[in-house]
């Protein structure tokens, strides 16, 4: 017999914390904090012409909001509502089991910079994290209402749309989709579906999400300015890796590149190796001679040399990648990885077109001070949140309620997303792994709904 959802006093207080956190966060950050990339994307959204350096869905959403209320305010409201709405949705799964521990966890979450500050940042990393966590929570809700066919279908559709949005928002975000599909298959099996039917559930979910992502990408690319942003990003990564390899092993031969483009080979060996740092690629990206040569290079020449270096010197490649990943994951110098940003700053021409002025007011400084107060604590530690996510996954898979499967898949997907930066990381910016932090906080609130059963491993 299903336990009725009774809103106990702790549940009501927890809901008040979440609602209050939403109001305070929106008021404190409105109309949002915009950095260089944010300005460019808002400018593209208003013009309705996108490039592919950043996934165009972000600019499209900014453009939709800007058409109603100029600026990024409505986008910030959407992001904030999505994040805090997900917390409220988690609470409504088991309000009758909520304790004062749940309320304490909720209060700590909404007061953390991950909610109070980051939800006001107009960054794709925040949109990705919000939509990813919300998508898995909707999947958990579908599991909890499996017998109600219409409700199940509605929650599955919401999950699919939100996770597809996540995949559209970050190029490596599609890594989450197989985890959601596998979770759905497992949930269906646990709830009585035959294994073949359960596998079909998952396969259809994965296929539908991929079709949606590809179709949406094709439609957005109809408004593309034709700039091959993704190709440029891949080439930038390859040059970054080659410069790092030469910096570590100066006598490394780049024979293929020397044959195809000796000038670029010389620049990588001289300036590239000297400017390389595993912290970020900015010194290389701002080197005029190197960038001028890259603008004229045959893209195949760089790619061929990169692949040859990996094949001939795999251990060297892994060492270069490990150093870059260590910076983005462990952030040994947190301030260098820019965990806090407030205000408005960006390219002058685009800001002039948008009628935006640089902003650095008392509220921005207060929020920055608040964020920096957490430096040196686990609150700004991806390693801490990875440990929290791993421990939560173990507890969820021991207990194995059907909704637990979806939350465990969320955590596993977040960890896989994190590991993907071993291959692609070129800067240590804290925001890149924000999804790991947010997933761990959401899972912690979910477990706190019924902490005793989670610790005991009993359904």
Q: Each residue of 213-237: pLDDT tens digit?
A: 999 999 998 888 767 667 788 888 9
- Evaluated on CA atoms 371, 104, 390, 168, the torsion sign reads negative
Write the DSSP assignment of 326-350 as a string of letters: HHHHH-SSGGGG-----SB---HHH
| Terminal Cα-to-Cα distance of the chain (whole angstroms) | 14
Structure tokens at 333: 């110098």
Split the chain (459 residues) into runs of 10 and give each run's mean pLDDT: 71 96 96 95 92 86 95 96 97 86 96 97 97 98 92 96 96 95 96 91 96 94 76 87 94 89 88 91 85 77 92 96 97 95 94 94 96 96 98 94 96 98 95 98 95 82
Those residues with Cβ within 8 angstroms of residue 349's Cβ, 6 or more apart along the chain or in another chain:
none
- For residue 3, the model assigns a pLDDT of 55
What does the pLDDT read at residue 228?
64
Number of helices (H) and strands (E), helices first, in the chain? 24, 0
Is the bond leading into 297 cis (omega within 30 degrees of zero)? no
What is the reported pLDDT for 193? 87
Q: Is 34 helix (H, G, I), strand (E, B) or coil?
A: strand
Predicted confidence at residue 1, as pLDDT, reads 44
Secondary structure class of 50 (helix, strand, coil): strand
């Amino acid at each position: 017999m299903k336990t009725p959802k009774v809103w106990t006093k702790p549940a009501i207080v927890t809901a008040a914390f979440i609602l209050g956190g939403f109001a305070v966060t929106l008021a404190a950050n409105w109309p949002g904090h915009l950095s260089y990339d944010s300005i460019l994307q808002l400018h593209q959204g208003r013009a309705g012409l996108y490039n592919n350096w950043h996934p165009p869905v972000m600019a499209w959403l900014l453009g939709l909001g800007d058409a109603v209320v100029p600026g990024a305010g409505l986008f910030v409201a959407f992001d904030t509502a999505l994040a805090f709405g997900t917390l409220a949705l988690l609470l409504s799964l088991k309000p009758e089991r909520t304790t004062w521990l749940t309320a304490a966890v909720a209060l700590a979450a909404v007061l953390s910079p991950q909610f109070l500050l980051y939800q006001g940042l107009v960054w794709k990393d925040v949109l990705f994290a919000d939509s990813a966590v919300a998508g898995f929570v909707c999947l958990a809700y579908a599991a909890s209402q499996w017998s109600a066919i219409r409700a199940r279908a509605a929650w599955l559709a919401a999950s699919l749309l939100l996770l597809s949005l996540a995949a559209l928002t970050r190029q490596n975000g599609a890594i989450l989709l197989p985890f959601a599909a596998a979770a759905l298959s497992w949930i269906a099996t646990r709830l009585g579906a035959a294994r073949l039917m359960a596998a079909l559930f998952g396969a259809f979910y994965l296929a539908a999400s991929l079709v949606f992502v590809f179709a949406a990408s094709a439609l957005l690319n109809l408004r593309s300015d034709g700039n091959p942003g993704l190709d440029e990003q891949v080439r930038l990564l390859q040059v970054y890796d080659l410069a790092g390899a030469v910096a570590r092993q100066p006598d490394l031969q780049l024979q293929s590149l020397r044959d195809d483009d000796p000038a670029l080979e010389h620049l990588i060996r001289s300036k590239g190796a000297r400017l390389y740092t595993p912290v970020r690629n900015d010194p290389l990206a701002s080197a005029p001679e190197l960038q001028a040569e890259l603008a004229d290079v045959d893209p195949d020449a760089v790619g061929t040399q990169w692949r040859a270096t990996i094949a001939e010197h795999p251990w060297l490649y892994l060492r270069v990648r490990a150093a870059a990943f260590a910076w983005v994951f462990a952030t040994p110098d947190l301030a260098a990885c820019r965990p806090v940003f407030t205000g408005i700053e960006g390219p002058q021409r685009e800001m002039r077109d948008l009628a935006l002025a640089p902003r650095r007011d008392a509220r921005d400084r207060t929020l920055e001070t608040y964020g920096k107060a957490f430096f040196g604590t686990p609150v700004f530690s991806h390693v801490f949140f990875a440990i929290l996510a791993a421990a939560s996954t173990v507890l969820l898979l021991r207990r194995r309620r059907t909704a637990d499967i979806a939350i465990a898949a969320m955590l596993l997907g977040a960890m896989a997303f994190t590991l993907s930066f071993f291959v692609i990381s070129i800067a240590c910016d804290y925001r890149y792994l924000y999804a790991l932090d947010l997933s761990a906080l959401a899972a912690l609130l979910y477990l706190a709904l019924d902490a005793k059963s989670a610790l005991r491993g009993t359904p």
